[in-house]
Amino acid sequence: MTRSGVIEIALLLLILAVSTIQFLYWDQKFTDNELATNGKGYVSDEVWYVASARNILVKVFHLNPREVGYYGYTIIYEGVLDRSRVEEIASLYGVKLRFDYSKLNGFYAYSSNASSLNLFLSRLREIANVSDVVPGWMMPDASGINNYLNLEHPPLAKYVIALIMATVGDYPFYWRLGTVVAGTLLVLFTYLIARRLLNSAPAALASASLLAADPLVRNLSSTALLDVYVALFTAISFYLALDKRFKLSVLAVLVGSLFKFNTLFALTPVSLLYAREKLKGRYSLLDLTAIVLGFYIASGLGFLLTQMVAGIPLIGYLGFTSWFKQSITGAIAWHTQVKCLGNACPTSSAPWDWFTGVNSFTLYYFPGGLSVTASGFWPLWCFALVAAIIFLPSYLKGNKAFAHSTCWLLGVLSGYILLWIIGGRTQYSFYAVQLAPLVYSSLTVILATFNYDRVVEVLESWKHLFTRMNRALGRLLLLE
């Protein structure tokens, strides 16, 4: 290996190490603040994913989470609870209680001694109508959360969190280890994409560094949300498509869709590149239609198959019909409609808002008014999108690096725009992390290939296009 190659690998490893450290740092920062403020440990939509992961672990797999520091039960009851009597029994066994639930008819009991906690629970059942007990870290405060499985989203992220709970521990810092790993791998694949596009070590390292420093990527890689997995498998699919390994590229998309359906938006650029490769200069509308139609039929069947395989544990728990209605047809309907209206709803956004930094979703509030929002380096995002559109004629002039990066950026973005058009108006800015590796790949390509001659060429192309459009409009209006 050459000296420059060794330096490149060393710098890449440094970027990956720094990325992992900063993701873990923010993971710990969120955890410390929740514990210091006597919170329940959850950040943003973690309340849904972590709680459902715990329910899946306990109710579907019949396993208990590994306790960290103490043993705890979230106890749900029916009717009226004699709180003073419960506190009296708890004091006998050295069990501590938390009654800070307002939406959930329950409380949290915990102790350093498992036997004492179980004895307390046995005595409690004698004086209260206990309907459910969820072991592990305290559940969030939401009605019916003890039975919630988050079926509007596929289960793979919940399986990951449940596995961590069972093996490492049910503790806020640990819940996010999966996304920390996914975020680090996302940085790696962003490097690989830029390296493959430009065959330039400095450009690839710059692309990976920009992505790692992006606050949206950092925040989503430090919380137990789903979207960094979507970004990772989108990037993997992009990389495989660059090598014309289209079957594996589609497989990466299908695996990503087991975390969240919007990974499927990556099928748009894959289908275009696949059709381009198949046609190879023998273009005909009939052939194009047949290729694209066959691609989407095969991908659709693959989607259903992978969803059913991943859903086998839930199918066993719910039954196939109930699972299919909730996890497939119900989930699709849920994604294509407005989910929340009113002042109590979190801030939603349109896809184009993500490139201007407006209507950003607030992930967390720290004491003193400091908020953590789901927003990237929007000036760079805006520049990348505008430049991709302006330099679009380069796609027609044979600039392969630009063609690939622009196809992926605009192709995936078009999926969100289409979803918005058909009714899915409740979109949140953290969805945009899927676009992050595409934004920085496009930005790197644009800057690395920028030169005066290309600017002149693009301007002349746009001038020619507008001239033809003007003439066509004139003929249409019978002015010529």
> Domain locations in the chain?
69-136, 177-449
- pTM, entire model: 0.95
Which H or E run contains 159? helix 156-167
Instruction: Give the per-residue pLDDT at 461.
Output: 81
Instruction: Give the per-residue pLDDT at 479.
Output: 55
Backbone angles phi, psi at 135, to 5 degrees: -75, 155
| Unique residue bearing structure tokens 């009226």 | 80
Specify the amino acid at residue 452. Answer: Y
| Unique residue bearing structure tokens 């789901």 | 374
Helix pair 267-279, 285-310: axis angle to 10 deg: 140
- Chunked into runs of 10 residues, the chain (480 residues) has average pLDDT values of 92 98 97 92 94 98 96 96 96 96 96 97 96 97 97 98 98 98 99 97 98 98 98 99 97 98 98 92 85 97 98 98 97 90 86 96 88 95 95 76 94 97 93 98 93 79 82 72
| Alpha helices, DSSP H, located in 280-430 | 285-310, 312-318, 320-324, 330-335, 378-390, 393-396, 400-421
CATH architecture of 69-136: 2-Layer Sandwich (3.30)
Instruction: Give the per-residue pLDDT at 370.
Output: 85
Instruction: Give the per-residue pLDDT at 431.
Output: 98
Instruction: Give the per-residue pLDDT at 285.
Output: 86
Q: CB–CB of 45/150 below 8 Å?
A: no
Specify the amino acid at residue 391. Answer: F
Question: Taking all residues of the chain, what is their mean pLDDT, rounded to a whole number?
Answer: 94
At 171, list the tokens: 């503790």
Instruction: Give the per-residue pLDDT at 478.
Output: 63
Which H or E run contains 111? strand 106-111
Instruction: Give the per-residue pLDDT at 454.
Output: 76
Q: Cα-Cα-Cα-Cα dihedral of 184, 190, 191, 192, to 10°?
A: 110
| Backbone conformation region of residue 375, classed left if phi is above 0, alpha if psi is from -120 to 50, else beta | beta
Strand partners, 75: 107, 133
Which H or E run contains 184? helix 177-198
Q: Determine the Cα–Cα distance for residues 151 and 153; give it in Å rounded to an integer.
A: 5
Backbone angles phi, psi at 96, to 5 degrees: -100, 150
| Backbone conformation region of residue 334, classed left if phi is above 0, alpha if psi is from -120 to 50, else beta | alpha
At 80, list the tokens: 């009226």
Q: CB–CB of 339/426 below 8 Å?
A: yes
Q: The dihedral of CA 383, 384, 389, 393: what is its sign?
A: positive
Three-class SS of residue 363? strand
Three-class SS of residue 359? coil
Q: Determine the Cα–Cα distance for residues 256 and 88; give it in Å rounded to an integer.
A: 50
Strand partners, 107: 75
Backbone angles phi, psi at 131, to 5 degrees: -100, -25
Q: Determine the Cα–Cα distance for residues 351 and 241; give it in Å rounded to an integer.
A: 25
Three-class SS of residue 224? coil
